[in-house]
Amino acid sequence: MKPIIEFINVSVILDTFSNVKALDLKELIVKSGENAAILGPNGSGKSTFMRLITRELYPEPEEGSVCRIWGEERWNVFQLRSLLGIVTPYMAFKVNQNITVEDTVLSGFFSSIGIPHRDYVTREMRKKSERNMDFLGILPLKGRFVTEVSTGEARLALIARALAHDPKALVLDEPTSGLDIKAALNFREYLRKLSKHGTNVIIVTHDLEDIIPEVSRVVLLDKGSVFKDGPIEQVLTDANLSKLYSSPLKVVKGKHGYRAEFE
């Protein structure tokens, strides 16, 4: 099976005025079957990395640069989006239109923002969307406009939307930010279930609690480059986090996962 992500000598410049590289990766490969968490301070390039995966962005054309998803350099965006379940904060802006929570979730079947045509929506699509909304606790909101629900509820709608196609991999940028304690716990439980059933998870987060036990690999980003990359026990150490965040930090392993504390 080809790797999910194969990024070699990949760089992205977002600010063409300063030409500073928002991302500059020598090598970052995530194999199929591997679950990875990406951590890093604000501005370290995490969302830029995500947007490369989802093909919202393309890297600078450079010799020897490889930027493949499942072995392909070029993707039909619709095809890619039916294989990847994507949740990014950018999507929240995009769906911020007058559409209902239910239509937001259903739109995942069409990789579109709204529903292209009512007739395309099948009974199975509706049933599956309802099941996902129910699990995430937003079924009672299905008739509400996304502009009339809370931030966390809108986020849950996007998560339900990402699950439409039973994606091979889920790519999540800060999925639990804005969720309440129960919704975040539910979401992590659901993520665990999905990953146990073979869905690959790539998760960008600030919250160590999001690193579910099925994640074995951690990548620390700093100023657009990989600072550390490897097995969780080797990467998620007091010394590495303290250096990355320039603060004396301690990693505490609890019953359900990790958290960081000041020393």
Q: Which lies closer to ligand ATP via its Cβ, residue 145 or residue 245?
A: 245
Q: Which lies closer to ligand ATP via its Cβ, residue 124 or residue 246?
A: 246
Residue from 24, 45, 110, 146 binding ligand ATP (CB under 6 A):
45
Pick out residues in 18-37 that bind ligand ATP (CB under 6 A).
22
246 binds ligand ATP (CB under 6 A): no
Q: Are 219 and 37 in contact (CB under 8 A)?
A: yes
Residue from 4, 46, 175, 249 binding ligand ATP (CB under 6 A):
46
- Applying CB under 6 A, the span of 40-48, 60-68, 75-83, 100-108 interacting with ligand ATP comes to 40-48
The entry of Mg ion, ligand ATP, none that residue 15 binds, CB within 5 to 8 Å by partner kind: ligand ATP
Cα 195 → chain centroid? 14
47 binds ligand ATP (CB under 6 A): yes
CA torsion through residues 192, 194, 197, 200, sign: negative
The entry of ligand ATP, Mg ion, none that residue 22 binds, CB within 5 to 8 Å by partner kind: ligand ATP
Residue from 6, 10, 30, 48 binding ligand ATP (CB under 6 A):
48
Binding track, positions 60-89, relative to ligand ATP; x by CB under 6 A? ------------------------------
Q: Which lies closer to ligand ATP via its Cβ, residue 22 or residue 69?
A: 22
CB of 154 to ligand ATP, least distance (A): 18
> Which residues of this chain interact with ligand ATP, rule CB under 6 A?
14-15, 22, 40, 42-48
